[in-house]
Structure 1
Amino acid sequence: MKTTQQLLAEISELTREIETNFPEVYQHLDENPLTLANSPHPEVNDKALDNYLESLKNLIKHYK
């Protein structure tokens, strides 16, 4: 399994790619990169990051 740092790097790279190459998709992401989590102690682990990365990949795949 990938490390947390690897997952975050891939998520950042893919998010930048979406923002640059697919701005019409980027505006519909369910997140704002500058938004802080609503809960005081959100559960963010490697599994959650991996799931999010896969959802971004699927978003691009289905859009193309």
Structure 2
Amino acid sequence: MLQQRCAVRRRVRRHREEAWLSQEQLAHLAGVGWQAVYRTELGAHRISVDHLVMIARAHDVSVVDLFTA
């Protein structure tokens, strides 16, 4: 489970960086606090399904895309 969480964390960051977005900009687009994006990318907490869906929508990808390479 930890391995998959790390993979999701890396993919969230990769999508954000490929879109040239700051954590604050992604948070604004996703409708979450910047701390949620920061902690997700850091792996400091388990992201909620709701936040994961919101972040995926902000990236214009499916949640499945965040779980697969």
Larger radius of gyration: 1
Greater helix proportion: 2
The question of a shared fold, defined as TM-score above 0.5 by the shorter chain, is answered with: no
